[in-house]
Amino acid sequence: MNDALTWILDLVQSVDPVLRTLMVGVGQLLETSILVGLIVPGDVIVIVASTGVNNFAEQGALITAALAGSLAGESIGFALGRFIGPVIRRSALGRRIGEQNWLRAERYLAKRGGIAVFVSRFIPVLHSLVPLTAGMSQMPYRVFIFWTTPACLIWAFAYTSIGYLTAETYRHLAGHLHWAGIIFAATILGFAIIVSRIQKAIKRREERYMNESSGPGDGT
């Protein structure tokens, strides 16, 4: 397993750092805009790219690219929601998402305001719908970007860090431990499980704000 994993990590590391960083930025732009986040696995792109990082400077560049791509994508989603949101909602993809999900996003945003923008970045499906929904609402762009920026930064830092630190740890252990590859895989799997549980916990906590019967919100 070590030989195969070392080959994969070396292959990722052999990619030009500038190209790797650009791929992350473009991947995040696509992942956070126009419902593409339901198709493009932005988290996988970031983790894979971060395993090839050679130093803290490259990691900083990767975080910056992931943040910039996320903000650009979410801004595009907001703008499209403001100008052609109803058209997208009535489109084939919009109908496939389901009217109930659109209504849940609307209610959540109406009741939680900026907090919904922040929290939705960590809830599957909603993180693709909220930028468009915010654009269709009366929320000013400055409020939207104020709340989504720290959420995107937390996300970018977490995903680039796990890839970088896990790959670095593996490289240090690979020459001494035959099961270093198992440690690498277990760490990535453990991170995915923790993220999934956090997302479920956040969704459960916020569910009441997405339901029609809940009261007025407090997160403007």
In this predicted structure, what is the pLDDT of residue 87?
Answer: 93
Examine the pLDDT at 212 and tell me if it is beyond 80. no
Q: Are 73 and 28 in contact (CB under 8 A)?
A: yes
When computed from its CA atoms, the radius of gyration of the chain, rounded to whole angstroms, is 19
Q: Are 72 and 27 in contact (CB under 8 A)?
A: no
Task: Give the tens place of pLDDT for each residue, 9-57.
Answer: 999 999 999 999 999 999 888 887 766 655 667 788 899 999 999 888 9
In this predicted structure, what is the pLDDT of residue 220?
Answer: 47
* The Cα angle at residue 81 between residues 99 and 96, in degrees rounded to 5: 30
**Spatial distance between the Cα atoms of 174 and 188, rounded to a whole number of angstroms:** 16
Within 10 angstroms of residue 178's Cβ, the number of other Cβ atoms is 10
79 CB burial (10 A radius; 0-12, 13-18, 19+): middle
Considering the entire predicted model, what is its pTM?
Answer: 0.86
Question: How far is CA 97 from each of CA 54, 91, 102, 104, rounded to the nearest angstrom?
Answer: 40, 10, 8, 12
Task: Give the tens place of pLDDT for each residue, 106-164.
Answer: 999 999 999 999 999 998 888 888 999 999 999 999 999 999 999 999 999 999 999 99
In this predicted structure, what is the pLDDT of residue 66?
Answer: 95
Q: What is the mean pLDDT of the chain?
A: 89
Q: With bands split at pLDDT 50, 70 and 90, how would you rate the model's confidence at 3?
A: confident
In this predicted structure, what is the pLDDT of residue 205?
Answer: 93
